[in-house]
Structure 1
Amino acid sequence: MRALIAGAGRLGAQIAQVLAAARNDVTLVDVDEDRIAELEGRLSVRLLAGDACEPAFLEHAGALTADLVIATTGKDEDNLVISLLAKRRFAVPRVAARVNDAENAWLFDRNWGVDTAVPAATPLISLIEEATGATDTVALLRLSKAGVDVIETTITARSRSAGRTLVEIPLPEGAVIATVIRDGQPTVPAPEMRLRPGDELLVVSHAATEQEIHTAFQ
């Protein structure tokens, strides 16, 4: 999914981080050049400085090919303009906007291009779920908040685990293979399953580090 987020404040940055972690193509923009510079190197997303209320900049940021636009600036008027441009000018399939002032909530509807209006007090998890419909992303976020990590690793021809069955691979303590994605389809990880190059594993762990999981399989 291609997501364009306007507003790189705390909320916008958190949403960008979560969507990027779920392997979405994310662009985060903000009119404040200093804020964008501050986030450089901290987020693995495309960062751009500019005014998302300007059609030319919004197009430059990727609105023409975006699947989702989320307006999270601190100004309701800006969020409405961004939403209207996204929906009417660029035909973005899904548009969500943050409502900063509850008295303005009645404006945030389809007339202004808003598919999902999100009150400022809405928890981050609910906001992402409402804006994207990505319940799998939300589930991963909830696990992370509970102190459980979901670590992904991909088997290649050079991986030590390629050609071995799952039961033959010693896992770090506290780690469990949740699923094996093969040919784009999630598969129940039976002990006798033999790993192939291209297999993607999702490992749930409350103790093992990403490096320990990588060492076990790679």
Structure 2
Amino acid sequence: MKVIICGAGQVGASIARQLSQERNDVTVIDTSTELAQRMDESHDVRGMVGHASHPDVLEQAGAAGADMLIAVTRSDEVNMVACQVAHSVFNIPVRIARIRSHAYLKPQWATLFRAEHMPISVIISPEIEVARGIARRLRSPGAFDMVPLADGKVQLLGVHCTDPAPLLDIPLRRLTEQYPDVRAAVLAVLRDGRWFVPRGDDVIRLGDDVHLVCRTADIVKVVALFGHTEAPARRLVIAGAGNIGFNLARLLEEKMPAVSIRMIERDPDRAGLVSRSLKSSTVVINGDALDHDIQEEAQVHRAETIVAVTNDDETNVFAALLAKRAGCQRAITLLNKTSYAPIIAGLGMNVVVDPAAVTVSSILRHVRRGRVAAVQPVGDGFGEVVEAEALETSRAVSAPLGSLALPHGMIVGALVRGEEVIIPSSRTVIQPHDRVIVMATADLVRKVERLFAVGLEFF
């Protein structure tokens, strides 16, 4: 499949790397000669210098034969025009655009992106995606990541294993017999900086980061097995009332109305606007999130969680540290500079949110079609969790899973059959139209296609 990516920044480069690993034909366009050359030198992709919205540049990039255009430049307007040209001039079937400005995303302008006006297939708003992700984490505080699958019946969780954790050092194959009322399957483990797909004889160790699937009804039980018994936050402080903070507050007002929210915003005009736009129960305080008196007014010492989402990494880190020192139990911190991540990990941050990684994940979830309902990247190019419908023609149907001889690096984590969630064993038989959730390392993604006949192609 031929893909054109507009923008060679952190997001564009990550998407290019992921798609090229799956042997797609990828071309990346950027106005920066340095970034374009870097793509040529460090990835199996073609880097081009030029303006991504110009028809002649897109033509040189092979737009006439492209299957998809992904526009993730720094400019919303360039992204929108690139999608328009891709549709009107080159008839590229799928066009995905990152749009940051909420001026384009207000409900009253919803018709702007209809096919007859600005034909963008999928719009990704990083701020909204980050806010949604944080809201999910707040509903299950024991997890550092949480993605719904199978219409919400199954959750993909990321959990850090702490002490005491009941499942420590128990072979994974014995978890079902030890905890028969918990339906969960471990898909991938990060240990000492290395990802691996576990086998039945492997055990979970203290400090592991574990990705697993479980029945939504079992989330609390599952995270407790990893040593997490935290209750959902009832008192929350949000540092930063920008687009992320504002969208998060609105989501929580709608989805978690019992939560008491206090926000800190340095800009007085923005603080006033946000205060007028939210419910009266949400308190917006104008001030510096690093000021002791302001934090005291926000009652961080009584809050279960602080969410630091200003537009400055240093402010986010220090606001979270000060809040935890004052007695706040948990910190969720937005971090744009990934080079800070190793340092931050040792400072007691419970969750670090990388907005670029969230954007990449959101875009990759939309590049599959056909019988594939969802794709969720795991690790930085390590693998993918794929949710797909099993077809009658699949060789995986009507045979016990144990007879399929799945390669190491591929795990069938869950099946959804009607309303029933099944965590399979070697004796489980996949039936036609089951929703199958599979973990596969990057080199095995194409084998998932052949095994389940789900057509992991874009068309």
Q: Give TM class, smaller chain.
A: 0.5 to 0.7
The whole-number CA distance in structure 1 between the counterparts of 2:33 and 2:85 is: 22
> Please, which of 71, 94, 116 is the counterpart of residue 122 of structure 2?
116
Question: For the structure 1 residues 116 and 42, does the alpha-carbon distance in structure 2 shift closer, same or farther, using more than 3 Å as the test?
Answer: same
Q: Deviations over 1:90-141 (max 9, x none)?
A: 00111111102122224444211201111123322222112444859935x2
Provide the residue aligned with 1:49 in structure 2: 49
1:216 equivalent in structure 2: none
Q: How does 1:39-188 map to 2 (within 5 A)?
A: 39-105=39-105, 106=109, 107-110=112-115, 111-121=117-127, 122=129, 123=358, 124-133=360-369, 135=372, 138-139=375-376, 141-142=377-378, 144=379
- Write out per-residue CA displacement over residues 168-201 of structure 1, whole angstroms, 9 at most, x where no aligned residue: xxxxxxxxxxxxxxxxx975597798xxxxxxx8
Is residue 2:418 matched to residue 1:204? no
Higher RCO, 1 vs 2 (CA within 8 Å, ≥6 residues apart): 1
Alpha-carbon distance in 2 for matches of 1:7, 1:192: 41
TM-score (norm 2): 0.32
Cα distance in 1 for partners of 2:4, 2:60 equals 11
Going from structure 1 to structure 2, the CA distance change for 1:85 and 1:204 (only over 3 Å counts) comes to: same
Shift of 1:29: 0.9
Give the Cα–Cα distance (whole angstroms) in 2 for the partners of residues 90 and 50 of structure 1.
Answer: 17
Aligned-residue sequence identity (percent) comes to: 29
With normalisation by structure 1, the TM-score equals 0.64
Pick closer, same or farther for the CA change 1:108–1:131 going to 2, 3 Å.
farther
Is the 1:129–1:138 Cα contact (8 Å) retained in structure 2? yes
In the alignment, the residues of structure 1 paired with residue 56 and residue 383 of structure 2 have an alpha-carbon distance, to the nearest angstrom, of 40
Q: Per the alignment, do residues 149 and 70 of structure 1 end up closer, same or farther by CA in structure 2, a change over 3 Å counting?
A: closer
Contact kept, 8 Å, 2:39 with 2:46, in 1: the verdict is: no
What is the aligned partner in structure 2 of residue 174 from structure 1? none
Partner of 1:172: none
Cα separation, partners in 2 of 1:148 and 1:203, compared to 1, 3 Å:
farther
Q: 1:71 to 1:148 in 2, by over 3 A?
A: closer
- Measured in 1, the distance between the counterparts of 2:86 and 2:77 equals 14
Greater gyration radius: 2
User: 1:204 is aligned with what amino acid?
Assistant: G
